[in-house]
Amino acid sequence: MQTYDSRNDVPEAEKWNLADIYTSVEKWEADYRKIEELTEELRSYDGKIENGNDLYHFLHKEEVVELLFKNVYVFARLSGDIDTRDTQAQSLLEKADQLGVKVNSATSFFTPFLLSLEKSTLERFIDEEPRLDYFKKDLLDAYRYKAHVLSKENEELLSRLGESLSSPIRTFGMINNADMTFGEVTDGEGKKVRLTRGMYSKLIEDEDRAKREEAYRAYYKPYVQLKNSIASTLSSAVKTNVTLSQLRNYPSALEKSLFGKKIPKDVYENLIKTAKENLAPMYCYTELRKETLGVTELRQYDLAVPLVKGVKEDISYEDAYETMLEALVPLGSDYINVLKEMKNSRYIDVRETPGKRSGAYNMGLYGTHPFVLLNHQDDLDSLFTLAHEMGHAMHSHYSNTHQPQITAGYTIFVAEVASTVNEVLLINYLLKNAKDKEYRKYLLNHFIDQFKGTFFTQVMFAEFEKKTHERAENGEPLNVDSFSEMYEALFQEYNGEALVLEEETKYGWARIPHFYRPFYVYQYATGFAAAIDIANKILSGDETTLRNYLEFLKSGSSDYPIELLKNAGVDLTRPEPVENALSLFGELIDEFSAL
């Protein structure tokens, strides 16, 4: 595996080209100042929108500011993420955050103003100014929020508090990425070295159980040490979300989260209910893992090691990219050609380096192109992560090139479909081309673990979020003990009694960044179920599904997400997609057990 002690050592071809956004910080600052000027112009419209012409000019200027701000913010964010210790980059991001608060404050008058209009007045404005047709859907849709918008003064007050209200997620991000120091592990030469996240992802899969346990303890050590600080941060995030939901007159924080996308509450609750009714295959797999590993007690550091030995392989980034391209051929030549261009044009930041943000993500930027962050480790997990993130990137590419700015962005609810379709196509390709029985068992094992992580673990997280928010809504305490009690009980329930819990298990909540984006993770599970349905139809040669799916990737937010998925052939208001996915999981367990 290729490792780098410095970002300067990474080949240019494997690093972002941020000059595609700004060629210098000076140009970034010029746009920053331009946004400040335009923001004051936007503020001047307060109380001055009297006809369709006024309304159009305000909305047009707001859209110009929105795109400029995204450029400013994304450049700062990407610059900071390549080295979270870089104080200059962090300063840019802090300035961008402050600017975002100013923009929100300057425009906070608009929604209360809009909802103070009679609907007939708004329709008259639209009739008298044809250019407002571009904004018509959003304008009329705003009336859904009438019961949840505060007075102009209160909306401005909340917008000014924006930076303070986002403090929990920023604080956890700095703890988790910049300040976190893991314990030590023993390297191949018997020396003690400081654990990194990249090392952990490898060591937790090591065949040597002692190495796995050592890595596990070293990884959890700082989270246990900082458990009180992180609990305070997470408690603040949950309580802030609950308070905002109450201020805006939503029945619950969950319903506030689902409202904007028109996701029925039943979709969330039925996902948890259906998953918990189908935990038997998970318990079977836990028992099978214990039996296969030959351990008297199955521990948490035994859950990631492959059950098939001797076939684990190194997969270089170059080989991973080529394998992904071959696996995604069913999506058509245009899809493949765009993927090749993304690699050649440096849309991807590939390698783990000191201080770099952990994990992986895609960030689409309208008018420019997507940017993908990886921490590639030359293994099968990294191959799947690559396919996953490039699915997001292709979704961004297609939506940004086929939709106007106003509908180009897509919601998280549909985002995970695009990424997971790629993963399902990849595993099918690998299984189809697996000539060796042991390698097929290895791949099945990998897909089962992936299924577990993307579906069951995310549903468990979703239930944890629901419980924590309900406790806050009921005025019950949220602290280390309550978080740990809830998390430990859920972890046991979802994994089965065959798993003996560690002391560290109960603190698993402390390491999850997604808990600072309320009610986000359930969409991994719904997206996974929808993706399995779509990918299997495409693999069966269903040309209609393929056409509908490619149109879905181009659709951005041109409709509500549930409707966009219905157009692609998946109805998540019904239980069948989730039940079908869980049925497949059972089949995978059966085949793996038989082999």
Q: How confident is the model at residue 5 (pLDDT cuts 50, 70, 90)?
A: confident
State the chain's mean pLDDT as an integer. Answer: 93
**Tens digits of per-residue pLDDT, 402-445?**
999 999 999 988 998 999 999 999 999 999 998 888 889 989 99
Please report, for the domain that includes residue 109, its CATH number. 1.20.140.70
- Identify the pLDDT of residue 1: 62
- Identify the pLDDT of residue 113: 93
Residue 61 is assigned to a structural domain of this protein: yes
The whole-angstrom separation of Cα 428 and Cα 538 is 11
pTM (predicted TM-score): 0.81
**Is 255 in contact with 265 (CB distance < 8 Å)?**
yes
The whole-angstrom separation of Cα 519 and Cα 244 is 14
**Tens digits of per-residue pLDDT, 492-527?**
999 999 999 999 999 999 999 999 999 999 999 999
Residue 545 is assigned to a structural domain of this protein: no
- Identify the pLDDT of residue 370: 98
**Tens digits of per-residue pLDDT, 63-85?**
999 999 999 999 999 999 999 99
Q: How far is CA 532 from CA 317, 417, 487, 577, in A?
A: 26, 9, 28, 8
Residue 348 DSSP label: E
**Tens digits of per-residue pLDDT, 8-19?**
999 999 999 999
* Count of domains observed in the chain: 1
Q: Provide the token pair at 29.
A: 């600052």
The closest of 487, 482, 577, 481 to 526, measured between CA atoms, is 577
The whole-angstrom separation of Cα 561 and Cα 410 is 8
**Tens digits of per-residue pLDDT, 436-461?**
888 899 899 989 998 999 999 999 99
Q: How confident is the model at residue 167 (pLDDT cuts 50, 70, 90)?
A: confident
- Give the domain range for residue 141: 7-165
The whole-angstrom separation of Cα 238 and Cα 226 is 18
Residue 337 is assigned to a structural domain of this protein: no
The whole-angstrom separation of Cα 482 and Cα 461 is 15
Residue 370 is assigned to a structural domain of this protein: no
Please measure the distance between the N-terminal and C-terminal CA atoms of the chain and give it in whole angstroms. Answer: 30
Residue 258 is assigned to a structural domain of this protein: no
Residue 431 is assigned to a structural domain of this protein: no
Quick check: 197 pLDDT over 90? no
Residue 320 is assigned to a structural domain of this protein: no
Residue 280 is assigned to a structural domain of this protein: no
- Identify the pLDDT of residue 487: 98
Active site residues: 389
